Structure 1
Amino acid sequence: MSKIKTMGITLGMSSALLLAACGDDTENKESSAGASSSSIGEQVDYTVVATEPGAGLTGLSHEVMEQYENLEGWTLQESSTAGMLSTLDKAIRNEEPVIVTGWTPHWKFSAYDLKILEDPKGILGGAENIQTLARKGLEQDLPDVYTVLDRFYWEPEDMEKVMYDAQENGDFDVAAADWVENNQDKVSEWTKDIAQGNGEKVKIISTPWDSEFASSSVIKLVLEQLGYEPEVTPVDPAIMFQSIATGEGDVTVAPWLPTTHKAFYDKHKDDIVDLGENLEGTQNGFVVPAYVEIDSIEDLKPKE
């Protein structure tokens, strides 16, 4: 009898200890998850890695740092596109948290599992478009080129395909050639009833980022196949707009509007010809690997 009672007490105590242990483990996991979430700032040294100082997204990101009170004590580290991507790649290989500025479409979203943090204040803008802008007089000087550029339109997945292939083979011209060869239906819509050129030069002004290397490389090849001699010059956004406004450049297919390059557009809009969108559905934001357990800029904590 006493043995049965003793065994019952022992089992009861064991069960209680087991339940307590389970409870402690659950609490520890929850505590660990909470600590992980709250210490992301510490793990990334309260730093967001940006691209070039002259990039429109970098300027908007500075506004984010100033207007979100929870980012007090944080730093926006200006770098380069290559530097930002290197930082992102290293962190992902080590399964560490990292926060970078980024945009879609971009090949990194095909290469890595990423997410864009919500921006409740809307400083970085919502969905944007990429526009085609031409110098005044281009329609009269090179009417067929103007028509091709006016018709130029593709989808985000098209641009991302060229970027991803260029990342794989290291050559945007090769990636553009593959895309053009495999998308003759779209290209033919841009070039229908267009006469062959006679080696006329076309100055395409762009920006030094993969998304714009993709679009300018495709347009360059299409115009070459039509008998023109296009030349692509990558510059900072401010110079890009100035070049089109002054007529030093003929066209650009690189401006992001209505938010990213708004200041430049507003300054020069009376001296340029807006041919409309060549791609819709882009987005800027603060980007993190999907395994980072935050979803919004507001989830970040100020530096203590």
Structure 2
Amino acid sequence: MIKHWKRMGIAAGLSLSLVAAGCGADEEEPDTETDDNGDTEEEADEDAEADDEGDGEAAADYGEDVAHTIVGIDGGSGVVQSTEQALEDYGLDDWNVQTSSDAAMIQELENAYENEDPVFVTGWTPHWKFQEFDLKILDDPELSYGEAESIHTIARDGLEDEQPEAYELLDNFEWEPEDMEEVMLEVQDGVDETEAAQNWINENEDIVSEWTDGVDEVDGESISLSYVAWDTEIASTNVVAQVLEDLGYEVDLNLVEANFMFSSVASGDADASVAVWLPHTHADYHEDYEEDYEDLGPNLDEGAQLGLTVPAYMDIESIEDLQE
């Protein structure tokens, strides 16, 4: 039986064509360049400049509309830390990050989306909100949010020797972002997380069979998994827990804050976690504890991304557009 316990909180460029025009035998007009709309180069430059000014004005208006506030999740999360770094990198001194919870952030997003109001949130993929809403992650030329990330599995020291079957399953576990999002969407639609995980397993027996190939069943051995209360990790942890249970394990799920997720595996209070975002989001925690557990590598390889996220109807493409 799976037990849930220890819930501790949690430019586009313009394409120009050259046209030479002669107006009479005695006099030639200077060459001009026109774009696809028939505008001269000078006119095109003026239009582009006007567009840039318009983008700047729109971004400035957005800032005023949202009181220069970005809606975040919990203050200790990597995406909030990255957002605070972005404010510094882009010189957005008037902006601030309002920390809350994932649920509160989603509610703010939903309220704004219904009225097509501007809103800025801390975002990451995979996440069901990108299926539920038409969203975009703003360009980040300064790489304040880093490159695409992977989600890793970590295991306590000694797990391979003491529980080799569980270790092998954990080491074999890997899937794609769309797999994770299927589970997330079902949970979001009100299906119990355990049931949603089992539904995915039933529909993807070919993938699961690769994880369990050569793994023997056990008779009631206990194993514990720590994870954070992110929709991504609720999905992945429950899927792994169901597969372990199908192999005969008694599974304890520890829902904790990020620092406890790392410390619990490092100390042996938990056996493993499949919820470690690297190399950016959980970098500090990983650096603190990596000598005390084994990193089994990515279970979702370079399929995760953090960034400042807005609805697609907003006329803004880059964090740079927010600069005065």
Which bracket does the TM-score occupy, shorter chain normalised?
0.7 to 0.9
What are the equivalent positions in structure 2 for 1:1-304 lying under 5 Å apart? 35-69=57-91, 71-280=92-301, 281-302=303-324
The letter of the residue matching 1:50 is: G
CA distance in 2, matches of 1:301, 1:118: 13
**Conservation of the 8 A alpha-carbon contact between 2:82 and 2:144:** yes
SS at 1:255 equivalent: strand
**Conservation of the 8 A alpha-carbon contact between 1:55 and 1:236:** no
CA distance in 1, matches of 2:132, 2:73: 19
Single out whichever of 271-280 and 231-240 deviates more from structure 2: 231-240
SS at 2:150 equivalent: strand
Measure how far apart 1:169 and its partner are.
Answer: 2.2
**Conservation of the 8 A alpha-carbon contact between 2:237 and 2:274:** yes
CA distance in 1, matches of 2:270, 2:106: 30
CA distance in 2, matches of 1:46, 1:105: 26
CA distance in 1, matches of 2:283, 2:195: 32
**Conservation of the 8 A alpha-carbon contact between 2:193 and 2:238:** yes
Distance 1:60 1:37, change over 3 A: closer
Aligned-residue sequence identity (percent) comes to: 45
Distance 1:116 1:32, change over 3 A: closer
Measure how far apart 1:170 and its partner are.
Answer: 4.0
**Conservation of the 8 A alpha-carbon contact between 1:56 and 1:237:** no
SS at 1:279 equivalent: strand
Single out whichever of 141-150 and 34-43 deviates more from structure 2: 34-43
Q: Could you state the TM-score of these two structures normalised by the residue count of structure 1?
A: 0.87
CA distance in 1, matches of 2:98, 2:176: 31
SS at 1:176 equivalent: helix
Distance 1:122 1:35, change over 3 A: closer
CA distance in 2, matches of 1:233, 1:63: 30
Measure how far apart 1:210 and its partner are.
Answer: 0.4
Unmatched runs of 5 consecutive residues or more in structure 2: 1-46
Measure how far apart 1:35 and its partner are.
Answer: 3.9
Unmatched runs of 5 consecutive residues or more in structure 1: 1-25
Measure how far apart 1:283 and its partner are.
Answer: 0.1
CA distance in 2, matches of 1:65, 1:155: 31
The letter of the residue matching 1:58 is: V
Count of paired positions: 274
The letter of the residue matching 2:261 is: M
RMSD of the alignment, in Å? Answer: 1.6
CA distance in 1, matches of 2:107, 2:278: 27
CA distance in 2, matches of 1:196, 1:210: 29
Distance 1:250 1:34, change over 3 A: closer
Measure how far apart 1:56 and its partner are.
Answer: 1.8
CA distance in 2, matches of 1:290, 1:111: 12
**Conservation of the 8 A alpha-carbon contact between 2:90 and 2:323:** no
Higher helix share: 1
**Conservation of the 8 A alpha-carbon contact between 1:238 and 1:264:** yes
**Conservation of the 8 A alpha-carbon contact between 2:136 and 2:311:** yes
